[in-house]
Structure 1
Amino acid sequence: MVKNKMNGEERRNKIIDYIEHSPVPVSGTALANHFSVSRQAVVQDIALLRASGNDILSTNRGYVIAPKPKVFTRTFKVSHSDDQTADELSLIVDLGGKVLNVFVDHNVYGRFEAKLDITSRRDVARFIKDVESGNSSLLKNVTCNEHFHTIEAPSEEILDEIEQSLKQNGYIK
């Protein structure tokens, strides 16, 4: 039982920590007893924690932190022409990857990065349309086509498949 007085924010931080480290669901009553507050205070704290982005689930046995889905990321250095951009991006999403970003490392100006979040062929088409309808060119063009993508996928195996396919299509040298 926590006997010292703490403010609500401190208590909420400790509640999250307590739930995260518990091997079993933690009841509201157990939290109330542990932190020497009322059950209603715990309910309010849980509501505030959820509102601030914590994914706390209520089960019939108590509170648990929702498991985060496992995702894996890998950065690939690629090179291709402007005409191959849609093919490169489609290849990645068709194999189950998400293109998080594109970045270049310029010898003089340093790193330039743009968020992409491309997950489907529809996203690829929208991206290509946006590039073609604007007065700008692809970021890769400032480094003679060399650029990097950070790719997210649900498994290392999918990232391996993406890497192999990028190599087979000549996008990775």
Structure 2
Amino acid sequence: MTLSKKDRLTALEKRLKGTDTPLPGDELAKAFDVSRQVIVQDIGLLRAKAVPVIATSRGYYIEVANGHQRVFKCRHRDDQITDELNLIVDLGASCEDVFVEHRIYGKINARMDVKSRKDVQNFMNNIYTSVSTPLKNITDGYHFHTVSADDEKTLDEVEAMLEKEGFLVKE
């Protein structure tokens, strides 16, 4: 039985809220017996209703803010990206995004959603197989990360380790 649009949107929102991992659009399309394009349109309708749906290269999910967030300004070489991200996730935090402050274009932000070493590895594989370069390279290595964790103590540990490893830029 095919669901009405209203029922499908309700079921889609419930399914996205009920997962900790992104759900691929193709998987959602199959589950609801609709095309991938219909899922894309449904995601747009959910966002229009202020449902915080996030799209990643791995699929869709509803953003649930962790208890605490902090922004860190960092700088390092390309060959240190893996070390920086592993440091964050190994301490139990998540790297939500990367952004730069460009003098002409302003803030340029990219969602990362890196929560584990596997996510770090997938992110790095995408960089290595892409013709693009890391966002930090347009600002001489300077960039910011929004990092989330369950508590302030974890964020303090992340900050201390970023500083110890020489990644943290003090203003």
Displacement of 1:71 in angstroms is 1.1
Name which one, 1 or 2, has greater alpha-carbon Rg: 1
Aligned counterparts of 1:146 and 1:165: Cα–Cα separation in 2: 18
Residues 70/80 of structure 1: CA separation in 2 closer, same or farther (3 Å cut): closer
- The C-alpha deviation readout for 1:120-156, integer Å capped at 9, x for no partner, is 0011011111001010100000000000000010000
Distance in 1 of aligned mates of 2:77 and 2:65: 35
SS in structure 2 opposite 1:136? coil
CA RMSD after TM alignment: 2.4
- In structure 2, give the amino acid aligned to 1:81: R
Could you tell me which of 110, 114, 127 is aligned with 2:110?
Answer: 114
Matches within 5 A, 1:1-173: 71-173=67-169
Shift of 1:69: 8.3
After the TM superposition, which parts of structure 1 deviate over 4 Å for at least 4 consecutive aligned residues?
A: 50-53
Uncovered stretches (5+) of structure 1, i.e. residues with no partner: 1-46, 56-67
TM-score (normalised: structure 2): 0.62
Alignment CA distance shift 1:70-1:78 (3 Å) = closer
**Structure 2, gaps ≥5 residues long:** 1-6, 18-63
Q: Find the aligned partners of 2:96 and 2:85 in 1 and give their Cα distance.
A: 11
Question: How many equivalent pairs are there?
Answer: 115
Percentage of identical aligned residues: 42
